[in-house]
Amino acid sequence: MKCVVNKYGSKISKSGNRIVIESKDGVFESSIENIEQVLICAPSSITTEFLELSVKNNVDVVLLNKYGKPVGRFFGNGIEKTALKRKQLKLTENWAGISIIKEFLSEKIENQIEHLNNISKENISEGSLSKSISKINKSKNMLLEIKGENIAEIRDQIQGLEGSVSKIYFRVLSKSLPKKYQFNGRSRKPAKDYFNCMLNYGYGMLYSEIEKICIISGIDPTIGILHTDGQNRKSFVFDYIEKYRNIIDKIVYESFLNETIKENFFKEVERGYLLDEEGRKHIISKFNGYLNMKVKKYGKTYTMADVMQKDAYKLSERILRS
C-alpha cells in the first residue's frame, strides 16, 4: 500500500510496529508490513523512530516539493552492485549506451503517436492530425538513423529531434482540448496554465517511481547516458523516464478532456499556478490506480508497478552484458 500525506501540519510517527499519521482529519494507523511507500506532499513533522522503522522494513519514504518533484528520500541500503555501476559508467563511451537511449526515445515517440491517434477529433481536423503524426514519424526515423561512436558526438542531434517532436505533440494535444483548457506549449516552475500545472506534478510523481525502481534493480540513478551528470541530479532517471511519460500524459489529458477537474484543484501564484490539495489528491489517485492495474505479461498477471520493476531488472541485466 502507498500512503499519501497530503494535509498541512501532519505528524508522522510510530507506535510499536505501526506507523501513525495524525492530521486535522484524524488519525491513520497501519502495520509497517502493509506499507510499501510513504509520499509526503505537504509540510509535516516526522520522528526519527518512524524513519528508522521504515528503513529497516524497506519502506520508501519520499518528500515531494510543491511541483511534485522528489527532493529527498529515505530508503534501505540494499546491496551495492559494483560491477553494474562500472558497466553503467561506460555507457556514455560505447554503442550500447547509444542503443539504449535510442530505444527509450523511440518508445516514447511511439507512445506519443499512439496517444495522438486516440485523441478527441472534435477540435482538430483529420488532415492536420495526420500531417503532425507524419512529421513525428519522420523525426523518429531520423533519430534511429543517427550514427556516432559515443553519446557525446550525437547528443545535440538527439535532443534537437526530441525537442521538435515534443513541440508538435503538445501543440496537437492542446488543440484537441476544450478551448478553455488549451495551452501554449510547455511551462514549468510555475506552470502558466492548468494543464501544465497538473502535468508537471504528475511527472514529478513518475520521476519518484522511476528513481525507486532504479535503486531496487541496482541501477545508479545518478549515472546518466544522454542527460549529463550534475550535483544532486539523478541523470539516469531523466533518461529512463522518457519511455513512461505517456502514463501521465494520458491521465492528465483524459482528466481535462472529460472535464473531471475542478477550479479548486489549482491555486494561483505569482506568474502561474500550483496544484492545491484537491488537485494533488486527484492526480495521485489516478497515478496509483494505474500502478495497481493488473495486466498479463511474461506469462503471468502482475500490477503495472511490478511490470515496471521487472523491466528495470531486465535493463540492469542488459547493462551488465554490455
By C-alpha distance, which of 78, 71, 35, 79 is closest to 53? 35
Give the whole-angstrom CA distance, residue 56 versus residue 254: 39
- Per residue in 216-273, pLDDT (tens digit) is 888 999 999 999 865 457 899 999 999 999 999 999 999 999 888 999 999 999 999 9
pLDDT surpassing 90 at residue 191? yes
If 0-12 CB within 10 Å is exposed, 13-18 middle and 19+ buried, where does residue 96 land?
A: middle
Give the whole-angstrom CA distance, residue 29 versus residue 13: 10
Q: What per-residue confidence (pLDDT) applies to 273?
A: 96
Q: What is the mean predicted confidence (pLDDT) over 97-114?
A: 97
By C-alpha distance, which of 87, 84, 100 is closest to 239? 100
Rg (alpha carbons) of the chain, rounded to whole number: 21
Q: Which CATH architecture has domain 82-321?
A: Up-down Bundle (1.20)
Q: What is the pTM of this model?
A: 0.82
Q: What is the mean predicted confidence (pLDDT) over 184-190?
A: 93
Q: What per-residue confidence (pLDDT) applies to 77?
A: 60
For residue 155, give Cα distances in angstroms to 109, 152, 162, 306: 17, 5, 11, 32
Q: Is 227 annotated as a binding residue?
A: yes
What is the band of 66 on the pLDDT scale with cuts at 50, 70, 90? confident
pLDDT surpassing 60 at residue 80? no
Q: Is 162 annotated as a binding residue?
A: yes
Q: How many Cβ atoms from other residues are within 10 Å of residue 226's Cβ?
A: 24
Whose cell is 520521476? That residue is 207
Q: What per-residue confidence (pLDDT) applies to 231?
A: 47
| Residues whose CB is less than 8 angstroms from the CB of residue 253 and which lie 6 or more positions away in sequence, other chains included | 115, 119, 173, 177
Give the whole-angstrom CA distance, residue 240 versus residue 210: 7
Give the whole-angstrom CA distance, residue 11 versus residue 30: 14
For residue 267, give Cα distances in angstroms to 14, 50, 274, 315: 33, 32, 5, 40
Domain 2-64 has CATH 3.100.10.20: yes
pLDDT surpassing 50 at residue 115? yes
For residue 4, give Cα distances in angstroms to 33, 196, 216, 244, 251: 16, 22, 21, 22, 19
What is the band of 3 on the pLDDT scale with cuts at 50, 70, 90? confident
Provide the angle, in degrees to the nearest 10, between the axes of the packed helices 194-217 and 245-257: 150
Computed over every residue of the chain, the mean pLDDT equals 91
Q: What per-residue confidence (pLDDT) applies to 78?
A: 53
- Per residue in 206-216, pLDDT (tens digit) is 999 999 899 88
Q: Please list the residues that pair with 269 across neighbouring strands.
A: 272
Q: What per-residue confidence (pLDDT) applies to 76?
A: 65
Q: Which three three-digit cell numbers place residue 230? A: 550534475
Q: What per-residue confidence (pLDDT) applies to 229?
A: 66
Whose cell is 540513478? That residue is 221
Q: How many Cβ atoms from other residues are within 10 Å of residue 53's Cβ?
A: 20
| All CATH 3.100.10.20 domain ranges in the chain, comma separated | 2-64
Q: What is the mean predicted confidence (pLDDT) over 114-120?
A: 94
| All CATH 1.20.120.920 domain ranges in the chain, comma separated | 82-321
- Per residue in 141-186, pLDDT (tens digit) is 999 999 999 999 999 999 999 999 999 999 999 999 999 999 999 9
